[in-house]
Structure 1
Amino acid sequence: MTSIFFDLDGTLTDPKEGITRSIAYALQKIGVEPPPPERLTWCIGPPLLESLRVLAGDGTTAEEALRHYRERFAEVGLFENRLYDGVLPGLAALSSASGARLFVATSKPKVFAERILSHFGLDPFFETVFAAELDGTRSDKSHLLDYALARSRSNPSAAVMVGDRRHDVRGALNNGIQAIGITYGYGTREELAEAGARTIYDSPNALFEGLRRYVLGDSA
Structure 2
Amino acid sequence: MTFWKLLNKAENHHDLQFHTGRVDDPLPWNPHGDCEPGGIYFTDTKNIFNFLGFGHWLRSVEIPEDAQFCENQGPPPRKWKASSVILGERRNIWEVEVIRELLKAGADIHAREDWALRMAAHNGHLEVVQELLKAGADVHARQDLALRCAAGNGHLAVVQELLEAGADVHAEQDDALQLAAENGHHAVAKLLKQYLRKRSRFVDLMKSIFKGER
So what's the TM-score if we normalise by structure 1? 0.28
More helix by share: 1
Bigger-Rg structure (1/2): 2
Which structure would you say has the larger RCO, counting Cα contacts within 8 Å and 6 or more residues apart?
A: 1
